[in-house]
Structure 1
Amino acid sequence: MIKLMSRQCILGVLVALLSACAIGPQPLPDDPAYAPVIPAATEIPKPNSGGIYRPNFSVALFEDRRAMRVGDIIAVILSERTQSSKTADTEISKENAISMDAGTVLGVVPSLGDYNLQTAINQNRELIGEASSDQSNSLSGSIAVTVSEILPNGLMVVRGEKWMTFNRGEEFIRIRGLIRPEDVQPDNTILSTRLADARITYSGTGDLADANKQGWASRFFNSQYWPF
C-alpha cells in the first residue's frame, strides 16, 4: 500500500512537471488559417457581336480598383503602440497576546513538577509585498493580406502572413481581422488600428528565438506548480 502511494505521488509530480514544461509546436509557414483564398477562375464567355456587355464578365467603367471581392489584396500598415504601468503595495500586520494567570492555591502557585500553570503567548505577524510592472511595445511596417470572406453586413474578413528568413532563423508576422470597405484607401491600404477583432502575431524561430527562451527547468521553477 505504501509503495503504491509512493508511486502515485511520483507520477503526480511528473505530470505536473511535464504540464508546466510542455513546449508547444513550432509555427510553420503556409498555415491554412492564414492562407490566401484564390477565387474560382471566371469562364470566358463566347464572343457576342450584339453589344459590348457580356454576361458574367466584369465591366467596371465607373468604379475604382479598391479591394472588395474575395481574393483581393490589401496592404495593412502596422502602427501599433501599447504602454502599460502598474504598481501595487501591500502591508499587513497583526499582533496577538494571550496571558493566563493560574492564581495561587493556599498562597502557592499550582505546578506540575518543574512547570507551573501560568502561560503567556505573544504572536506577531507581518506581511509586506511590493510589485511593479512597466511594459511598452511598438510594431511598425506593412504586410499584404487577402480578403477571405465577405460577411452579410458588408464587412470583409482578411488574413495573411509574411515570413522572412535570415541567417540565424526566421521571423514572421500574421494578421487576421475584420475591416470596413470604406476604411480601405484608394491605394488599397489600411491602418492596422482599423482592424476589428484583430489578431496580430509577431515572433520568430531559430537560434535567436531559442536564446531568449527559458530552459525547461527554469520554466518549472518559475511556474505556478512550484510550491515555494
Structure 2
Amino acid sequence: MNKLLVIASCLAIAGCASMNTAVVPDDPEFAPVYPEEVPVEAKITGSLFAQDQANNLYSDKKAHRVGDIIVVNLAERTQASKSASNDLAKDKNFNLDQITVPGGVATIGGNPIELGLGQSSAFAGAADAAQSNSLNGNISVNVIRVLANGNLIISGEKWLMLNNGNEYIRLTGIIRPEDVSPDNTITSLRIANARIQYGGTGDFANTTEQGWLSKFFNGPVWPF
C-alpha cells in the first residue's frame, strides 16, 4: 500500500510539473507601452522648439523613445547535426590449476581442487541527431525602455486567430538605434539577448502535445 501511495504521489508531482502555464493574449509582460504625457512648459524665450522632441535635421524619423514602434523582420534559421559512436569490449579470464600437495593432488570429496572464471562484456552504441528550424515574418514591437548608453529594449507580441485556435509570436530583446533602417525596421539577427516565441493554442496545438502521463514515462524521471 505504501509503495502504491509513493508511485501515485510521484505521478501527481510529475503531472503538475509538466503542465505548462497557459499562454493567453494581453499578457502584462508583453503589454504595449505608451509614452508618458509630458506637460508643455512655457519657454522663457517664447520659442516652440523642444530639444527632447526634435530629430536631427539630417536624420530619418526612427524609433528612439519609449512607446515608439519598430517593425522586426524575422529571419531566423538554425541547423545542427551531431553523430557519435562508441564501441567497448572487455574479456577477462582467471584460472587456478589443481592444487598439489605431497603425495598427490588435493581433493575435496574425491574431486580435485581447481577454479576457473571467465568474463566477457561488450558494448556498442551509436547516435545521430539532426535539427533544422526556420522562422520568417514580421512583427511590430514597442520600445519599452531606453538604456543609459542609448540602446533600446523592445518587446511585443502578435496574435492570429485561426479556425481551430490561435497562433502567436512574442519577441523581446535589445537593439542599437544605429541598426534600425531608415524605414524604421530591423532584422531579428541584430537583436541582442533575443527571446522569440512562436506557438499556438487551441485544439490544433493540443493534438500535437503529449499528455502529462506520457511526458512522465518518456522523461528522465522514469527509471526504465
Task: Measure, in 1, the Cα distance between the counterparts of 2:98 and 2:176.
Answer: 83
CA contact (8 A) 1:45 1:54 kept: no
Amino acid at match of 1:17: L
User: Residue 53 of structure 1 is aligned with which of 38, 48, 59?
Assistant: 48
Task: Measure, in 1, the Cα distance between the counterparts of 2:203 and 2:115.
Answer: 66
Aligned to 1:17: 11
Task: Measure, in 2, the Cα distance between the counterparts of 1:85 and 1:147.
Answer: 36
Deviation at 1:225, TM superposition (A): 1.3
SS in 1 for 2:214: helix
Aligned to 2:132: 136
Q: 1:179 to 1:26 in 2, by over 3 A?
A: same
Aligned to 1:40: 36
Deviation at 1:19, TM superposition (A): 3.8
Task: Measure, in 2, the Cα distance between the counterparts of 1:37 and 1:54.
Answer: 26
Task: Kindly indicate whether residue 115 of structure 2 is the aligned counterpart of residue 119 of structure 1.
Answer: yes
Task: Measure, in 2, the Cα distance between the counterparts of 1:185 and 1:65.
Answer: 10
CA contact (8 A) 2:105 2:112 kept: no
Cα deviation 1:126-154 (Å, max 9, x = unaligned): 11111100000000000000000000011
CA contact (8 A) 1:17 1:220 kept: yes
Aligned to 2:185: 189
Task: Measure, in 1, the Cα distance between the counterparts of 2:113 and 2:4.
Answer: 46
User: Residue 162 of structure 2 is aligned with which of 138, 162, 166?
Assistant: 166
Task: Kindly indicate whether residue 24 of structure 2 is the aligned counterpart of residue 28 of structure 1.
Answer: yes
RMSD across aligned positions (CA): 2.3
Task: Measure, in 2, the Cα distance between the counterparts of 1:81 and 1:59.
Answer: 38
SS in 2 for 1:209: helix
Unaligned runs of 5+ in 2: none
Unaligned runs of 5+ in 1: 1-5
When structure 1 is superposed on structure 2, of 215-224 and 91-100 the one drifting more is 215-224
Aligned to 1:212: 208
Q: 1:175 to 1:112 in 2, by over 3 A?
A: farther
Q: 1:171 to 1:110 in 2, by over 3 A?
A: same
CA contact (8 A) 1:168 1:208 kept: yes
SS in 2 for 1:152: coil
SS in 2 for 1:84: strand
Give the share of equivalent positions with the same residue, in percent. Answer: 43
TM-score of the aligned structures, taking structure 2 as reference length: 0.88
Task: Measure, in 1, the Cα distance between the counterparts of 2:66 and 2:52.
Answer: 16
Q: How many residues align?
A: 219
TM-score of the aligned structures, taking structure 1 as reference length: 0.86
Q: 1:103 to 1:55 in 2, by over 3 A?
A: closer
Aligned to 1:3: none
Task: Kindly indicate whether residue 71 of structure 2 is the aligned counterpart of residue 72 of structure 1.
Answer: no
Deviation at 1:165, TM superposition (A): 1.0
